[in-house]
Amino acid sequence: MSEGAASVMLNRLRAVEWVGDWDHVLARVPSRRILMREYLRRAALWAQEYSVESAWPFFDVTERVDPGFRLSPGTAAELEAYLSRVPGRELRATCAGAVRLAGMRERNPAALPDLPDLYEPLVLFYERGGEFVRDDAGGLDLTGVSFRPGTPRGNLGTPPFRALGETVLDALDARGRVSYYAHRAAVGNRALLVRRRVVRGERHDELFGPDLRWEPTERLPDTEEAIKAAGLVPLDEIAAAELIGAATTPRGAPA
């Protein structure tokens, strides 16, 4: 294919296993949940920009961005052939949007608004475990977790998730019920990140160490009140991901 960026995106999507191995997908529930959350936020921003809130959240925005844009005939034909094998209307719409927006950004970046890349979180979500499906109540089944998409307006207020690197996403994935905490320590000016995982009633307390891996650490206090009294601040997944991203970013590099 002649269009580099569109080709790269299409090849990424071709590698997706839409119905993946159950154990493999379950091991990636945390990162897939946070990627879906970030996609919904970005989709709300783009829907607001182009007044297509009624199409939110899973849509191809490119016709509104530049109605005259066309992929090359060869790329368009390969995309259509690929989409015929993609399960579900919403999956097909977002895959088409991802390929077309990549080509549009390469050909005419000035036509795009100053907004974060719309489809990258969702493509990463697909790459890390395949499809989502709608449940009977209108929620999303992300394979292993149910997720309520909310509304465009509600998602506009979601804190952004910028740390989309593989190291960060892998570090978020863990079995069990996970709680994150941070405290300031003498490691530059960065907070140390710890987590407690509860797997089948057994607690595992771990520190995100200097080798960018989770390592066993001294046992945290037993109760949330005692944990807070020890100077540890509870974090949500996004805040924890930002700390992991800061730890994996070389000094002086842009965040």
Q: What is the pLDDT of residues 62-98, one digit of tens each?
A: 999 999 999 999 999 999 999 999 999 999 999 999 9
Closest CA to 190 of 241, 247, 239: 247
Q: CA–CA separation, 140 vs 146, rounded Å?
A: 6
Amino acid at site 190: R
Q: What angle do CA 61, 128, 116 make, to 5 degrees?
A: 35
Q: What is the pLDDT of residues 144-164, one digit of tens each?
A: 788 999 999 999 999 999 889
pLDDT at position 2 is 42
Q: What is the pLDDT of residues 167-219, one digit of tens each?
A: 899 999 988 899 999 986 644 556 789 999 999 999 999 999 888 889 999 89
Q: CA–CA separation, 250 vs 255, rounded Å?
A: 9
pLDDT at position 251 is 52
Domain ranges of the chain: 4-156, 166-248
Q: How much of the chain, in percent, has pLDDT values that exceed 70?
A: 93
Q: CA–CA separation, 206 vs 139, rounded Å?
A: 33
Q: CA–CA separation, 207 vs 210, rounded Å?
A: 9
Q: CA–CA separation, 210 vs 201, rounded Å?
A: 28
37 close to 24: Cβ distance less than 8 angstroms:
no
Reported pTM: 0.89
